[in-house]
Structures are given as structure tokens and as C-alpha cells.
Structure 1
Amino acid sequence: MVSLKTVSEGDAIPAGVATNLRRSLFWMVVVALALRLAVVAFLYPERLSPDRDHWRFAGETGRIAQSIVESRGFSSPFRGSTGPTGIMPPIYPSLLAGVFRLFGIYTRASALVMLSLDSLFSALTCIPVFLIAQRSFRGRTAVWAGWAWTFFPYAIYFSADFIWVTTLATLMLALLFLAALHLEDSTRVALWIGCGVLTGIGGLMDPVVLSVMPLLVLWMCYRRLQKKQRWFVPALAAALACGATVAPWMIRNHRVFHTFVPLRDNFGLELYVGNNGSTWHFAPAGFHPSSADRERNEYVQIGELAYMRHKQAQAVALIKAHPGDFAELTLRRALYMWTNFWSFSRRYLEAEPLDPPNIFLCTALTVLALEGLKRAFQRGASIGMPYAIALFFFPMVYYVTHPQDYYRRPIDPIFVVLAACAVTSWMQGSRKTGAEPTSDPPVISSATYSTKSRPPARPNE
């Protein structure tokens, strides 16, 4: 059931207007899906290359899915049968394994199905994008944000050419952000429990979700404390629900590896890929088992956990020996996450020829989003702080490990919403508050609206 409210509180929206709003949101999703599927038709052959035993199909995800289908369990993320793995959480590889069972391993049909699913996930993200913007900034910004996501180049490209968890994680993080915005005013413990379960599911898709959600929940608890509303019991219920959701996977990891392993075990490797003495590229080739026989052989010989610990020890030793270089690299990685700029050297641009236009698009979006964030804080800290938490805390882990162009994608919906806020504020000439006029069209109430890849890029790949 979809409930509607007007911008002015308490008034009912005429049935015809409500229908038009639902129809507008429906067409955002339809147009977004059509665009993405059209691009899939042109790009899907890139996933079918047999090189390196179909590595470009889905990288480690494809290897694990193949192992599941071949009754070898959740294992072998690289070439050959290398034993159990915790290199990534289970949901997306299991989804791909289901597709492999139905349509074949590394087949054209499987590629088309997975890219179509990713395109659907990206198109459905229009809904939380619209509702997030409506919740914070009202109707006009919501319409702009929803249509901006429909035509957003990164959302189109990465969903149509990238069998990876990115688009599903993007949808999940947008839904979680929307849910978190409602925790401040909700008296229902069930909503907090649902948010906890959803957070756990998000963590089982991509643990990067957990870089944002705990802080958002803490902020909502603080806001409830300010209003003298109960917060401890709902927050505890959410935490327990999240823990119960991820517990089976963590128990599996303990049984397999005989030690505590969180949602994934590859932090040491990611730290090493970005901190190994080579700085010409943000993720230089030759330091990952997927692209270097030396690294894969070590991985096979000593086992996954020992390998991850060794890589972390190597990276930490280098960081301690060259703290100044690490500080410089950290700043460069931060700059890359916000602008997509790493280097203009000939060697780098030969490996990343599309970086110049990406720098323009990424930097422009960042500037607009920061302007939108300023407008949000002008409306009040209660509006701006959740966005600030998402923008500034989400990328922190990549500042110390290494970035990739697709690492920022799960937070793109927040960038798009804030950019839409900036644009609509400029259009209205409302530089003082960024608020929209009361003549805005009625909008769907996000409080009551409900509905029952490419593999990691390696240089010289």
C-alpha cells in the first residue's frame, strides 16, 4: 500500500496527483532499466573472453560460483582448486552460482542474465534515491534526483558491463540510508530490528556497508536522546538483529579456518596491493594472485589465512619504514576517491585512457555534492549530518588500502541526491537556506511508501 502526503503537513493529496507521482516514479525505473539493457546488448561480449580461464567474466566471484556449482563448496577464488575461502561474503557469489546452475558456467546466457539482474538492481535504485531526496529536500529535488539517477553514466556503465556486487550493494546502501533516516522519528522497535536485519544482509553482500550504517544509527540514537525519546532498547534490538543475521556466515568461517574470521579475510592483501613500493598506478599489476603467478603460488603453498597475514605484515613493514611516503599515498588515494585523478603520466594513461573524462565527471559531481551538503546543513544539522557521515566515512578504508573506480559507486546515490539539491537550489535562487518553495508539487511520503561486472580492474590485464 502506498500512502501519500502533501508538502504541507496533514493535507491529503488528490487521488489524481498521487497517481501521477507513482506513475512518474514507475517511469524512472522503466527508462533506467531500458537504458541499461540497451547498453548490455553492446557490452556483454567483453565478459565472454576465455583468457585466463574466463577471468574477465566475474573475477573471484565467478571462480567461487563455479566451485559451488561443481560441489567444491565456497572455495577457490583463483585458478585451480585452492580450498575454502573467506575472501568475500556469500550472497553475490551464491546468486551467480544459481545462475550458473540454470544457464551454464561462463556461458553467454549466464552473462546476459547477470548483467540484466545488475541492470535491474541499478534501475530499482531510482526508488530509494527519489525517496531519500523527498525525505530531506522535498518534491522538486526528489524528481531531479530520481531522473538524474536514471541517466547517471556511472550507474548505467557499471550495471551493464560489470558482473560484480557493486550495483546490488549500491541498491542496498541506498535502502539502508533511507531506512536510517526514519529511525529518528520511529517509535516502532520492529523498524529498528528490520534495519538491523537489512544491515546484516548488506554486510553479507559487501562489508563496506558497515562503514556507514553503525555511525548513522548512532547519530539517530543521539537525536532521539536529545528529544528525550527512548533509544537504547531499539538500538540494542537493531544490533542483535544484525549480529544474528551475519552469525551463520561467521560460524562457517570459524569452522573452516579454525579461528575468528569476520565477514571477509582479505584486508591484508588489499593493504599490500596499495602499499608495496610501486606507485605509478593505484593498484599496480604484479601484486595480486589474480595477475601474478608468484603471488598465486605463495597463496596456494601456505594457505589463504597465512597468505593474508603475510601480505599485511609486508605492507605494514613498508609503511613503518616509509611513513612519509605512506602519508603522501594516503592523500593521493583520497584525492582519487573524490576526483578520479591519480596521474597524467604516459604509462598511467596508457593503462587508464578514460581517466581524463572520468576526472571531469567525478570532480563535477563531487563539487555539486559538497554544495548540496552545505545546503543540507543550512536546513539543519539533523538534515546534513547523515549525508556527511555517508560521504566522509564510506571511503576511509580505501585511503589506506587502495582505490578503484568502482569502489565509490555504492555511495553514488548520496552524491546524486546532494547534487540535485544543489542544482534545484540554484535554480530557485534560494541561496540562504536551500529550501524549496511551498508551491512544490505534492510528493510521495517516504515515511509510508513501501513495496512488499566487470571484475576488479588490474593494470595490463
Structure 2
Amino acid sequence: MAFVVRAAYVTVAHTYRFSPFEDHFTFGYEMARVARALVTGFGYSDPFSGHTGPTAWVPPLCPLIIAAVFKLFGIYSLMSGWVLLVLNSVFSAATASCVYEIAARSYNHRVAVWSGWIWALYPAAMQYAVRWVWETPLSTFLFAAILALALRMRGIGNDADAGQKRQDLSQWLIFGLLWALIALSNSTMLLFLPVCGIWILLGADNRSAAALHACMAALLFVACLAPWVWRNRIALHAFVPIRSNFGAELYAGNGPGSYGFRYGVLIGLPEQDPQHRLYVKLGEIAYVHQRGELAKAYIRTHPGHFAALTLKRFYFFWASVPHPSDKHWALDLIRQVNYCLPSITGVLGLFLSLRRRIAAAGLLAWAFALLPLTYYFVTVEARFRHPLEPLIVIFSVYLFQSASPRASAKLA
């Protein structure tokens, strides 16, 4: 049902008709620019306007998917737009099954059913799938799948009489593969990897065997990333594990005139733009290094400004970033409430889970703590919260289903 609703909306609302403004830049942004370069023979390059050379500005998984669709259905074509949004819908809909399993293993069938249906039908849960060509739905699905797998491997919610295997080699290899896909899609989430792995190991019946399997999973993880790291070494003449743009993002979020987040791209799209010309002149690695050094120097001399922006970004991550002023104030108010209220109910549901010692609450609390951490210090956008939104739905459902009438509570 989640897939049907999303695919139908894409088709009926014509969200696949992206604006041709700035050479279709809103159709996939930097990722689709790289995909176009791949299809037209320029390799993994050109994330902005013109031919700007090799890049590691964005991780490779999503651009490669977009490139495959462009190859089959045309570059920036209507059919490619429809196919990519339908693929987004597949990932977003598949997340519903992970939401159900996480809730069922952590809580009960009732919480799982409500959580799964809310994810399937709640408009805010599907917005990035049906309107944006970006990695967000894929990353969210992969992260939810990792959480569901972690609960299986730890034995949370397993039927003791069913003889379910846990922490065998195949599960650890799937663990390593999923984390490799996450790294190649949204590397920010790697902060959660060591906590997740250690948490699973601590619940192993045979820790020595589990440790050996974990090492093999780590080897698989490294093997999946190795071709990308090697390519970056050859093409960019630098060691770039995943992506290269950290320094530029740091400057945009914390440099002179910054206010905690940004609209638009870091490099101006017109090729005459000063930053675009500087990027081309220096090359990506040197440009990012320069911007990073400027950002660090400014932070050192303006620590109060940096601290204030960090607090603002913390607020923006959970309460919603400011919206462009061309929207009606009433619509913006609805948007703010729609974004902020689930944060409140989700956090309260997490606190209640910790208080009641729900088996997996500690692991899920680490996800809430670690996934936003980089964004607090660099930059923030509303979509950055989306990988946590499956958990926000589950915690919110648990919070409301844990409520009881006051009289009943007193009797209890």
C-alpha cells in the first residue's frame, strides 16, 4: 500500500516534471550532474555547471543509480524523472516493513501495526520519495534495515521456541554489506557503525566466534569501499575515503555572514560566478582545503559565533529550519508544527522506553545522539532528519499507546 500511494502520487501529481531552470538543476542537483557526466563519457565529474573535472563531492551510490536510469530512459527526460521517483517510492515503501519489524521486536504487535501504517500513509513520511531525486529515501531504508538486522542478531523479539539463528556468518556479512552501501550513500551515518557493531557483539552467545565473523564483515565493508577510495586516489591525487566537500560545507555553515544553514548550492551555477571560477582554477581538493582552512581560522577567532550557530542548528534539526518567505505564513506555521511535533513526541517516547528498560532502547537512543552530531557543527537541512523519522514514528506510537486514563493509572 505504501508503494501504491507513493507511485500514484508521483504519476497523478506530475512531480516527475522537473523545472528546466538552470539546465534542470533541481532534477537531482549535483548527483544528477555527475550522472550526466558518467553517461556522456566524462566520468565521475562535473557536479556543477560546465566541465569542472573529477569529483568526489557526493558519494557514488545514488549518482550511479541515476546514471543507469539516464542511460536507459534519457538524460533529464520525463521518463527518467518518473522512474527515479518510483525507485524512491520503492525504497520508502520498503522502509515500512523495517518499521514494522523494529516496532514488533522492540514493543508489540499493536505498536508495530500502527507504526507501519503511519509510515505507509503519512504524507510527511513520503515527501522526499515523491518529490526529490536524491539519496534520502535510499539512506533511510538502509538505516532502518540495519536496525532491524541488529535486533535480529541481538535476539530481541526472537521466539525462543522457534530456534532462530542469530549472529551467524551470513548475518554478519549482510551487516558489512549494508554498512558499505550506507557509506556510499550517506557517510554521515557511519558514526553509528561502531556502537551498533559493539552492541550486537555484547549480546553474542559465543563472543569469540562472533568477533571472527565481525572481522570478516569488516573486511567485506573495506572491500566494497576500496574501489572508490582507489579511484579517488587516481583521479583526485588525494586520499578521499568517501566524499571531499567537508571544508566547503564547514565554511558555508560557519564562515563570515553564516547563519546556521544555507539555501542553494555552495558553488554558483553560472560559470562566471566567482566561486565557480575559483573552484575550476584550484581544482576540487585544493578549493575544499582552502575553504576548510578559512572556516577553521574564522571559528578560532569567533568562537562565540560558532557556539551560537551550533545551538541554532541543534534547534533547526529538531524544530525545522526556516522556510523561504515567499510562502504564506499559515502554510509555514502548519509546516513548522508538522515537523516539530513528531520530534517532541518521538523524544518523549524514547525517554519512556529508556525509563521502562525496553530492550533495544539504548541502541536506538545512540542513533538519536549520533546521527545528527555532524550537522550540529556544520550545516543542517530538514531532510537530514529523515533517516531518524522511522524511529520517531515508532516512539510516538509507543508514547500514545502507553497512555492510560487517569483513574486507571491511580488504580494501577
Per the normalisation by structure 2, the TM-score is: 0.89
Question: Residues of 1 paired with 2:211 and 2:47: CA distance?
Answer: 41
Give 1:91 shift.
1.4
Indicate yes or no: 2:397 matched with 1:417: no
In the aligned structure 2, how far is the partner of 1:386 from the partner of 1:212?
A: 9
Q: Secondary structure at the match of 2:402?
A: helix
Q: Is the CA contact 2:114–2:397 (under 8 Å) kept in the aligned structure 1?
A: yes
Alignment partner for residue 349 of structure 1, among 310, 325, 335?
A: 325
What's 1:215 paired with?
A: 195
Q: Is the 8 A contact 2:107 2:358 kept in 1?
A: no
Name the CA distance, whole Å, in 2 between partners of 1:98 and 1:401. 32
SS at match of 2:379: coil
Other-structure match for 1:383: 360
Worse overlay, 422-431 or 372-381: 422-431
**Distance in 1 of aligned mates of 2:407 and 2:151:** 24
Which residue identity does 1:419 align to in structure 2?
A: S
Q: 1:113 aligns with which of 83, 89, 106?
A: 83
Alignment partner, residue 247 of structure 1? 226
Tell me, in whole angstroms, the C-alpha distance in 2 between the residues paired with 1:286 and 1:417.
34
What is the rounded CA distance, in whole Å, between the counterparts of 1:317 and 1:431 in structure 2? 60
Alignment length, in residue pairs? Answer: 396
Aligned-partner residue type, residue 208 of structure 1: T
Contact 1:44 1:160 in 2 (8 A): no
CA RMSD of aligned residues (A): 2.4
Contact 1:273/1:288 (8 A) holds in 2: no
Gaps of 5+ in 2: 156-165
Q: CA deviation at 1:392?
A: 1.3
Q: 1-side partners of 2:196 and 2:407: how far apart? A: 28
Equivalent positions of 1:121-136 (< 5 A) are 121-136=91-106
Cα gap change, 1:430 to 1:334, in 2 (>3 Å): farther
Query: Letter of the aligned partner of 2:371 in structure 1?
Result: F
2:172 counterpart residue number:
192
Does the 8 A contact of 1:176 with 1:213 survive in 2?
no
Which TM-score applies when normalising by structure 1?
A: 0.80
Q: Could you tell me which residue of structure 1 aligns to residue 137 of structure 2?
A: 167
- The match for 1:402 is 379
**What amino acid maps onto 2:370 in structure 1?**
F
Contact 1:289-1:299 within 8 A present in 2 as well = no
User: What residue is the counterpart of 1:145 in the other structure?
Assistant: 115
**Contact 1:203–1:210 (8 Å) recurs in 2:** yes
Distance 1:131 1:380, change over 3 A: same
Deviation at 1:62, TM superposition (A): 1.1
Question: Which of 77, 88, 94 is matched with 2:47 structurally?
Answer: 77
Q: Which residue of structure 1 aligns with residue 163 of structure 2? A: none
Cα distance in 2 for partners of 1:312, 1:214 equals 27
Identity of aligned residues (%): 33
Q: Secondary structure at the match of 2:184?
A: helix
C-alpha deviation, 1:246, in angstroms: 1.1
Which of the residues 337, 342, 347 maps onto 1:360?
A: 337
> What is the Cα deviation at residue 237 of structure 1?
2.3
Distance 2:169 2:16 in 1: 47
Cα shift readout 1:56-93 (whole Å, capped 9, x = no counterpart): 11100111111111011111100011111111121111
Contact 1:145–1:416, Cα closer than 8 Å, also in 2: yes
- What is the rounded CA distance, in whole Å, between the counterparts of 2:191 and 2:269 in structure 1? 26
- In structure 2, distance between residues paired with 1:383 and 1:428: 27
Contact between 2:28 and 2:134, CA under 8 Å: does it hold in 1? yes
C-alpha spacing 1:63/1:424, structure 2 compared with 1 (3 Å): same
- Cα–Cα, structure 1 residues 385 and 429, in superposed 2: closer, same or farther, change >3 Å? farther
Deviations 1:123-145 (A, max 9, x none): 11110010010010010000011
Alpha-carbon contact 1:43-1:160 (below 8 Å) kept:
no
Within 5 A, what are the aligned runs for 1:168-183? 168-183=138-153
Paired AA for residue 242 in structure 2: L
d(CA) in 1 for partners of 2:57 and 2:286?
Answer: 13
Asked whether the equivalents of residues 273 and 284 of structure 1 are also in contact (C-alpha less than 8 Å), the reply is no
Q: Is the 8 A contact 2:177 2:224 kept in 1?
A: yes
Q: Assess if the C-alpha contact under 8 Å between 2:135 and 2:185 holds in 1.
A: yes
The answer to which structure, 1 or 2, has the higher relative contact order (CA under 8 A, 6+ apart) is 1
Instruction: Output the CA distance in 2 between the equivalents of 1:414 and 1:330.
Output: 24
Amino acid at match of 1:321: T
**Which whole-Å CA distance do the structure 1 matches of 2:15 and 2:118 have between them?**
28
Please state if 1:235 is matched with 2:214.
yes
